Amino acid sequence: MITIDSPRFGSLEVEPSRIIEFPVGMAGFEDCKRFTLFHPDEENPPYFILQSLDDPAVAFHIADPALFGFNFDIDLTDEEAELIQLGNTDDLAVVVILTKGGDRSPLRANLNAPIVLNLESRRGLQHVFSTLNYNVTPVTAKGD
């Protein structure tokens, strides 16, 4: 068991089997290579927390991009596929980092740099697009 003291989430105990390895870190956080996922204490939370084990001050709120009407079609290079030990594309999950500027600013998703996770190998990478070409799928409100 690994224990980390997160300034935002308190003391967290992490099973070694719940560690996600990011071989090259993430943009701006290249020294953070080990993370764990957890969710807030609520039923069916819309987001998860990606907490660094290498720097307890580093944690990201992440969510399924479909919550924002996006569906990524990411072509991984051979090098990226090797980094995350990709065997089966069914083992992949794509999530986005959520940001909020202040109390009154809207929640935003970083669509330029989604995170690709291999759930089987527990390895991930941040896929930074040099250009982002996407289509927005309209999301209708419930009851419409």
Determine, yes or no, domain membership for 133: no
Max Cα separation, the chain?
A: 48
Total domains present in the chain = 1
Closest CA to 116 of 87, 88, 96, 139: 96
Determine, yes or no, domain membership for 115: yes
Determine, yes or no, domain membership for 132: no
Q: What is the pLDDT of residues 15-61, one digit of tens each?
A: 999 999 999 999 999 999 999 999 877 677 788 999 999 999 999 99
Q: What is the pLDDT of residues 113-128, one digit of tens each?
A: 999 999 999 999 999 8
Determine, yes or no, domain membership for 135: no
> What is the spatial distance between Cα 3 and Cα 56, in angstroms, rounded to a whole number?
10
> What is the spatial distance between Cα 29 and Cα 52, in angstroms, rounded to a whole number?
10
Domain that holds residue 19: 2-126
3-state SS, residue 11: strand
- List Cα–Cα distances, 63 to 31, 83, 95, 116, in angstroms: 23, 22, 5, 12
Q: Is 144 a residue whose pLDDT tops 50?
A: no
| 90 φ/ψ angles, rounded to the nearest 5 degrees | -65, -15
CATH number of the domain where residue 67 is located = 2.30.290.10
51 and 12 Cβ atoms separated by less than 8 Å: yes
> Using CB atoms within 10 A of its CB, is residue 42 exposed (0-12), middle (13-18) or buried (19+)?
exposed
> Using CB atoms within 10 A of its CB, is residue 113 exposed (0-12), middle (13-18) or buried (19+)?
middle
Determine, yes or no, domain membership for 144: no
pTM as predicted: 0.82
Q: Is 68 a residue whose pLDDT tops 90?
A: no
